[in-house]
Amino acid sequence: MPPDIRALDIVGRLNFSEVLAELTCHDIDRRRRAAYQLAQLLEDQEGRPARRHARPVAVSLLNDSDPIVRWHGVCVVGRHGLNHIEMLLRELYATETDPWARRELNDYISERPTAEVG
């Protein structure tokens, strides 16, 4: 079993690969901690590293079965301006039932007009 991500964070050795691996865990609490840590890692990164990791992190979070993990994904999209995956958010909005995730999705989507079909 890999070291807990909290322990890695405490000793300053936490990186994206360890945290991303936690998203495949069946333990919901570990996935939720990983989602939170991924969002924090992206906030702590500046420039190129954050841009390189933000999209795959957001997509992974948005596709999770847990609504709290998905909520973190919506937050990552909004905070990092990942407008190129807006369609994924709109698809999620159509099926999301969790009130927290729906609220974050609604806030994100209401700020952006739908693309005009011509």
The CATH number covering residue 76 comes to 1.25.10.10
Categorize the per-residue pLDDT at 118 as very low, low, confident or very high, splitting at 50, 70 and 90: very low
Q: Please, what is the average pLDDT of the chain? A: 79
84 token code pair: 């190129």
Tally of domains within the chain: 1
What Å distances lie between residue 78 and 3, 48, 88, 117, CA to CA? 30, 17, 13, 24
* Interval 23-62: pLDDT, tens: 888 999 989 988 988 887 777 665 555 667 788 888 889 9
* Interval 68-82: pLDDT, tens: 999 988 888 888 788
Is there a domain that residue 116 lies in? no
Categorize the per-residue pLDDT at 22 as very low, low, confident or very high, splitting at 50, 70 and 90: confident
Q: What is the DSSP string of 41-84?
A: HHHH--SHHHHHHHHHHHHHHHT-SSHHHHHHHHHHHHHTT-GG
Residue range of the domain that includes 92: 5-110
For residue 32, the 8-state DSSP code is: H
